[in-house]
Amino acid sequence: MPSVTPRQRIEAALRGEKTDAVPIFLRDLTLGLDVCDFTTPEVCAGGPGGIYHAQKSARCVIETQRLLGHDCVVGSIHDLGLDVDTLGGRVEFPERGIPYVAEPAFSTPEDIARARLPDLHTEGRMPGVLRSYQLVAEALGDRVAIAANVEGPVTKAGLLRGLDSLLTDMVRDPAAARAAIDFAVALACEHVRALLDAGAHFIFVAAASDGPGVIRPEQYLEYTIPGLAKILAAASERGAPVVFHPHGPFTDERFWPLAEAAIETGIAGFQFGERNDLAIAKQRWGKRICILGGPDIPEVLLPGPAERIREVTNEVVRGAGGDGGYVLMPSCSIHREFPLDHLRAMIAAAREYPV
């Protein structure tokens, strides 16, 4: 049998097809900083006077893939403050911690009205991020799949405006909420275009605050779904598939219509977060889209031990992966200080799984 590359494995799964092994995507956003022993500011804030260290970021991504052998990478070290600082907010970069938004960009609705979309090729830290994607694409792109990590509508707007303010606006000042989300979606679409041009193969919409763990179902239908459709349109201009990853118990029967609304936009895959039953997802939606997901991070992958991780991985893959159209992922993104042996245990279990 001709050997299948990791990239082909992921692409086959996204088309719903079966392949030689269970494809694996860790969505490791800051883990590579540990692998290369870089401080967080050294890469994300680019060191004194710098803006974002493209070469070091790319090295983190490449070295981590060499070390663990997963099939798909995100093309840069990624943090949630990427546009927040450019737009006037404040992002902190703890020495060995995960960057975070210390002050949102828009403290009042008027700030949103005044804001304009930044030029991702010249402003803020994004030029470094785009360069990192290019370097990763040059080094790995033929063989390994590259995902572009783009935040979802409410998630991105929550980072720019502050989530509590945004959610309160949704009830008390819907026009302000709408403006923040429209801005966030327009910005996300810019990211889609720029990251695909920089060498990414598909779009991963990371949407922790877009779902019934956080917003009302009707708000999800009003804000998230139309935003997702726009992101999808931007991706399809360049022929790239989109995977959607909101949080919330979508396999709970009450929320099935929400998963279905996302599927109807034309996404290629849906990653389920914590508190979901992947076997149910596979059974209900597996014929229409690729199912992504796997062991729960706070409950299983972080605490371990390795034996339990293997068992849970086997169980998940048995339920969702048997006949293809499935990508194994941890329940959400992977970061600094994550125990590498726990990831190795998950990967080994999947590699041993007979397809």
Partner 1 sequence: MDIETVTAELERAIEAGDEEAGPAAARALLDLGVEPTYVTSALSRAMARLGRQFQRLDVFVPDLLVATDAFDAAMQVVEAALLKSESGRKLKGTVIVGVVEGDIHTLGKNLVAVMLKADGFQVHDLGRDVKVARFAEAAQEFQADTIAMSSLMTTTMGRMKDVIDLLVTQDRRQRYRVMVGGAPITQQFADEIGADGYAEDAPDAVALANRLLASGRAGGGET
Binding site for ligand B12 (CB under 6 A): 29, 79-80, 98, 100, 155, 163, 208-209, 213-214, 247, 274, 297-298, 331-333, 335
Closer CB to partner 1, 71 or 79, in the complex: 79
For residue 199, give the amino acid letter. Answer: G
Rounded to a whole number of angstroms, the minimum distance from the CB of residue 251 to partner 1 is: 13
Give the tokens for residue 297: 């991070």
Pairing of strands 326-328, 269-271: unpaired
Q: Which does 180 bind (CB under 5 to 8 A by kind): partner 1, ligand B12, none?
A: none
Q: Which of 311, 317, 341, 318 is nearest to 329 (CA)?
A: 317
Residues, the chain, total? Answer: 355
Rounded to a whole number of angstroms, the minimum distance from the CB of residue 101 to partner 1 is: 6
Rounded to a whole number of angstroms, the minimum distance from the CB of residue 10 to partner 1 is: 28
Closer CB to partner 1, 118 or 217, in the complex: 217
Q: Is 11 helix (H, G, I), strand (E, B) or coil?
A: helix
Q: Which does 215 bind (CB under 5 to 8 A by kind): ligand B12, partner 1, none?
A: partner 1
Rounded to a whole number of angstroms, the minimum distance from the CB of residue 2 to ligand B12 is: 36
Q: Which of 204, 217, 202, 209 is nearest to 181 (CA)?
A: 209
Q: Which does 336 bind (CB under 5 to 8 A by kind): ligand B12, partner 1, none?
A: partner 1
Contact yes or no for 85/124 (Cβ under 8 A): yes
Rounded to a whole number of angstroms, the minimum distance from the CB of residue 190 to partner 1 is: 24
Q: Which residues contact 168 (CB under 8 A, 6 or more apart)?
A: none
Contact yes or no for 125/145 (Cβ under 8 A): no
Closer CB to ligand B12, 12 or 203, in the complex: 203
Closer CB to partner 1, 69 or 174, in the complex: 174
Distance CA 74, CA 76 (A): 6
Distance CA 77, CA 233 (A): 26
Closer CB to ligand B12, 280 or 300, in the complex: 300
Q: Which residues contact 171 (CB under 8 A, 6 or more apart)?
A: none
Q: Which does 130 bind (CB under 5 to 8 A by kind): partner 1, ligand B12, none?
A: none
Binding site for partner 1 (CB under 8 A): 92, 94, 97-98, 100-102, 163-164, 167-168, 170-172, 212-217, 219, 248-249, 252, 254, 298, 302, 335-338
